[in-house]
Amino acid sequence: MVDLEEVKRIVELLEQTTSLSVVSAFLKGKGLHHSAGSWGNLLEKRIIPYVQEYAIAVDELIGLLRNAEESGGQHVFIYQCSEDVALSIIDRSNVKAALEKNGLDHLLVKPLVLEQPDTPQLVDVRWEVSGIDTALIVKQVERRVYSKFVGTEPHGNQIHKVYEQVRERAVNVAKLHRSGFLELRIALHKNSSKYEDDVYRFFKAIEGIIPPSSFREVSLGVAKNRIWTERKALSHLIRYSDSTLRDERGNVLRAATGSDVSDLKDNDAVAGSLDYLLSNDKTAYCHGSSFWFRKNDHLANDIRVTLDGEPNEYALTSKCSAEEYEYVLSKIRLLNK
């Protein structure tokens, strides 16, 4: 029997994570009526009847949610271990033993659909398969609480600032490829640009499955430099927002566009100042940059990426599809060679 409460929870989470058009495209791809003017209409007129008629399965909705909530809106930290170590870690018997030890082997049967758990919880462990197991994916859901300024209130001769507590669902994902390449995707914070503590806590939560001591950080320094120095050759692919150079003495030179639709490379004077520093100071290097991968056959819209913060860190600041996420990652890895 179909659990309609679970179906409603899945659709509620889809509403938080993606757009109506994404779910409509999913229905269209199955040859079903897909138009819906609102999320309520989508649930009552489309999703629930189709589930009850077995035109779509609950597992298919969970798969749609997985793709929607795991891609973009994240700071991504990349690591590497040897292929032999990775193959041992993703081995199904080893993963199952690690999960059984912690009473989590039920996650191999069916992921948990949680909105905002009181404490961070692992909710999904699975393999990406293409003939063989190509990657192991471990997902965590946590609740974050923020203070949002909503106004002021008079109290006698004083004016008090008033804040509202906002609770938000955050999804963190670890994906270990059989090659030894590891992505830690940490959900964006509303009010912080530092993610070291999040990485530490997430690694701690998954260390029984993916031991952090097996990995080294992968610096993105090559990609940072190439994205700027090869900007003319890459102009069909990338639109530049800002770039920051630094030398060994700690001197900093930063250039930024006046708007999100401008391209830094089009201003010869500004771009030239960065080139001058790189050409005349052999210790200078690109410390960080913000840019957009241009809309193309693989991207429905321009996608903003920042290469800043930790040496092995980059960020996709908006949600995107799983296919778009993989496209961006592949381009960054290619530029880092």
Both 133 and 258 in one domain: the answer is: no
The last residue of a domain, from among 193, 217, 241 = 217
84-86-91-93 Cα dihedral, nearest 10 degrees: 100
Neighbouring CB atoms inside 10 A of 310's CB total 16
Domain shared by 295 and 326, yes or no? yes
Total tally of structural domains belonging to the chain: 3
pLDDT given at position 77: 98
What pLDDT tens digit does each residue of the chain (337 aa) get? 788 999 999 999 898 888 888 898 899 999 999 988 899 999 999 999 999 999 999 999 998 988 888 998 999 999 999 999 999 999 999 999 999 999 999 999 988 888 888 899 999 999 999 999 999 999 999 998 888 888 999 988 999 999 888 888 899 999 999 999 999 999 999 877 789 999 999 999 999 999 999 999 999 999 988 888 888 899 899 888 777 777 777 777 776 665 666 666 666 666 666 666 677 777 777 677 888 999 999 998 899 999 888 999 999 988 888 899 999 999 999 999 9
Range of the domain at 166: 72-217
CA–CA dist 13, 161 (Å, integer): 32
Please tell me whether residues 300 and 253 are part of one structural domain: yes
Q: Are residues 276 and 323 in the same domain?
A: yes
pLDDT at 116: 84
Residues 250 and 266 in one domain: yes
List 183's β-bridge partners, or say none: 78, 175
Query: In this predicted structure, what is the pLDDT of residue 257?
Result: 67
- Are 287 and 227 spatial neighbours (Cβ–Cβ below 8 Å)? no
Whether residue 30 is found in the same domain as residue 106: no
203 and 142 within one domain: yes
Residues 144 and 201 in one domain: yes
Tell me the residue type at 47.
I
The vertex-188 CA angle with 187 and 193, nearest 5°, equals 130
Domain's final residue, options 53, 69, 85: 69
Looking at the fold, whether 240 and 312 belong to one and the same domain comes out as yes
Of the residues 192, 217, 242, which one is the last residue of a structural domain? 217
Residue 93 buriedness (CB in 10 A; 0-12 / 13-18 / 19+): exposed
For 89, the token pair is: 């870690």
d(CA 62, CA 17): 13
- For residues 274 and 253, is the Cβ–Cβ distance under 8 A? yes
Looking at the fold, whether 285 and 314 belong to one and the same domain comes out as: yes
pLDDT, residue 108, reads 94
Is residue 101 located within the same domain as residue 140? Answer: yes
Phi, psi of 296 (to 5 degrees): -155, -165
199 and 93 inside one domain: yes
Q: How many residues does the chain have?
A: 337
